[in-house]
Amino acid sequence: MSKKTLTLMSKDKQLFNIEEHLAVQSVTIRNMVKEDGASSVIPLPRVDSETLALVIEYLNRQQAPEEDEDYVKKFVDERGEIPTLLELAQAALDLDIKKLMDAACMKVADLIKDFTLEEVREALRIENDRTPEEEKAIRDEFQWAF
Amino acid sequence: MNLRSRKIQIKQPKQTPQINRFAEINYEEEEQQEEDIISKLPDALLTHILSLLPDSDANRTRILSNRWRNLWMFLPNLHFVMPFCWSVGEVNKFHDSVDTALSIRGGMPVDRFYLYCSKNCDYDRVYGWICSVVRWRVGEIELRFPADRFRVRFCWSLFRTCKTLVSLILRGEFVLDVPRDELLFPCLKRIDLVSIVYAGDETIVNLVSGCPVLEELFVERQVIGRFDNVQTFKVSSASLKRLRISFALCVLGNYRVVIDAPKLEYVYILDVMSTDYSLTKALSLVEANIKARTDSNTESVAQIVAILSPVKVLTLTDSTLMALSYVHNLNIPRFANLVKFVVGIDCLWGWNLLPTLLHNMPNLEHITFSDGLVPFPRVQYAFNMNWVPPEDVPDCLRYKMAEITICNREPVVQEEFGLIRYLLQHSGNLRVLRINSHRNDSKSRERLLSFHRSSKQSRVEFV
């Protein structure tokens, strides 16, 4: 059986080739291949090329099953930047690659776990749209968490 | 409900996202979002990340921004704490907020439900909440009730058909009464009971016998200033594997402990009140950890240790060791299977007991002195630890001992050098001797390193 290749297109229109048997680790792609053979290019309009390159790198890994867990962990550890990890998690969610999504989310959680609220806002670039009064009301209501 | 702050219209994603969602995206608006990572992420991803944080951290995020205000309601772990309420209005406000959160979820499965009730909570509504989470396939429940003596009625019948609940934690000084029933929790594996007041001895008996697959039980008896109504603590279970008890009531009495659990693998006993122990043989018992007080219950301590002597891993605190030596008068039981021993050296007997212990542990491979070799702080003691090397080197040292760990809290003193030298000299199979004392100066380190070691492969580590 010859190895079939699929082409994925990122949102900035870059093309990536990947062998089909590796690509179908993504449940989303697997379903597409099943449905219409997916002979042409598969567009991924929410995934930018850098993130897609990472996803492809991940899908192309050649790890023994028992080392896979460690590999995934190391793979996300090396991308310690929160924005990158979130993009990766988002792509993994869209493509339905559970292991990668779980690992990326776990890494983000690990990183923000010891942050103050202000640091979390900064890391995740959240705009504080609360008045101080509203904030105080929440603090009072959920004292146990603060 | 739309919790999202940006325009991309994506429904709360289900477990498997569909590829056709991509088609909905408007390419034009993407450029401006380059830096706004979070707002384009679906709530499902954010809640997933939140669910990996501790409850309090996850709940704290509701203060981040308006979008985050309600995200916590979709977490798999729900955590509600009723504050101390001065008025009926405050009580109602709390109850309403729980109602809202539960109704917004619309039947999403709940992994864990934590509820802390304070005085004046409405138990009918609490019952309603528990019914809801049981319907939503809850796996773990933790409840804390206040000392409302006659008001709490636990809803036992609700769980008889519950196929998901595996862990139940009950806290608080409310009176727990359990009916005698063949089946209470069909799949419950773990129960924790903390600071409960019981209806009587039969409460725990009934509870345990109503859980056919129970594997883990933790009971902490600590109720301030009163008796918790249990005279004989009795556990009888064919499935129990792990038992931890922590008994510290200050009301004096003759308390008994009866454990009949043939499948027991691990037991932790912290007990300063019971005077009589009965344990049926558990062939699968592997590990035991015993902390006991010396003055009132030395006999029972010795009883426990003797029963538990077939274990592979054993932890004895200094007071346990002291109790043991009182009763046995240095006639220590034999620990034939013991591989790992964690011990607190007591300051009364010093190292007198050590040769006997080692002789009676022929298969010991690992010993940890959990509080170091001498009492802490050292300035308070002015007696000799009394190291008299045994005539014959114990078998375990000669053939088995691979790891020795000394958790000192002060630099090594003259007296200790003698014992350490003996251990290094006679442990023929040693791999590592670890000394946990960061304040050893270079001179004492050098001295320790210079001792003759009969095991060529061994090393000395300072940690």
* A136 in contact with chain B, both atoms CB, cutoff 8 A: no
Q: Does the beta-carbon distance from B97 to A141 stay under 8 Å?
A: yes
Q: Does the beta-carbon distance from A93 to B66 stay under 8 Å?
A: no
Orientation angle between helical segments A82-95 and A27-36, nearest 10 degrees: 30
Instruction: Judge whether residue B424 has pLDDT over 50.
Output: yes
- Percent of chain B whose pLDDT exceeds 70: 87
Instruction: Judge whether residue B34 has pLDDT over 50.
Output: no
Instruction: Judge whether residue B314 has pLDDT over 50.
Output: yes
Q: In what order do the strands lie in the sheet with A41-43?
A: A15-19, A5-9, A41-43
- Say if CB B141 and CB B113 are below 8 A apart: yes
The confidence score (pLDDT) of residue A30 equals: 85
The confidence score (pLDDT) of residue B249 equals: 81
Q: Which residues pair with B403 in a beta bridge?
A: B366, B432
**CB contacts < 8 A (A, B):** 110
Rounded-to-10 torsion of CA B316, B318, B321, B323:
-120
Q: Does the beta-carbon distance from B38 to A113 stay under 8 Å?
A: no
pTM summary value: 0.80
The per-residue pLDDT of chain B, averaged, comes to 83
* Residue of B222 and B282 predicted with greater confidence: B222
B54 chain-A contacts, CB cut-off 8 A:
113
Instruction: Judge whether residue B61 has pLDDT over 50.
Output: yes
Residues B386-419: tens digit of each pLDDT? 788 888 899 999 999 999 999 888 888 888 888 9
Which of B 259-298 lie inside 8 A of A, CB atoms?
Answer: none
Mean pLDDT of B294-310: 77
pLDDT confidence band for B296 (50 / 70 / 90): low
Name the minimum distance, in Å, from the CA of A88 to any CA of chain B: 11
Mean pLDDT of B131-153: 86
Mean pLDDT of B96-113: 90
Instruction: Judge whether residue B25 has pLDDT over 50.
Output: no
The confidence score (pLDDT) of residue B380 equals: 66
Name the minimum distance, in Å, from the CA of A55 to any CA of chain B: 16
* B17 in contact with chain A, both atoms CB, cutoff 8 A: yes
- Say if CB B123 and CB B151 are below 8 A apart: yes
Considering only the beta carbons, identify the residue of A83, A117, A125 that sits closest to B63.
A117
Q: Does the beta-carbon distance from A117 to B64 stay under 8 Å?
A: yes
* B97 in contact with chain A, both atoms CB, cutoff 8 A: yes
Instruction: Judge whether residue B133 has pLDDT over 90.
Output: yes
Q: How far apart are CA B349 and CA A55, in angstroms?
A: 64
Instruction: Judge whether residue B48 has pLDDT over 80.
Output: yes
Q: Does the beta-carbon distance from A145 to B59 stay under 8 Å?
A: yes
Instruction: Judge whether residue B144 has pLDDT over 70.
Output: yes
Residue of B nearest to A143 (CA): B83
**What ipTM does this complex have?**
0.83
B57 chain-A contacts, CB cut-off 8 A:
113, 145
* B55 in contact with chain A, both atoms CB, cutoff 8 A: yes
Name the minimum distance, in Å, from the CA of A65 to any CA of chain B: 24
Q: How far apart are CA B205 and CA A57, in angstroms?
A: 57
Instruction: Judge whether residue B363 has pLDDT over 80.
Output: yes
- Say if CB B284 and CB B265 are below 8 A apart: yes
Q: How far apart are CA B90 and CA B120, in angstroms?
A: 10
Judge if the upstream peptide bond of residue B377 is cis by omega within 30 degrees of 0. yes
Selection from B59-63, B74-78, B276-280 with the highest mean pLDDT: B74-78
Which amino acid, one-letter code, is at A38? Answer: A
Instruction: Judge whether residue B13 has pLDDT over 70.
Output: no
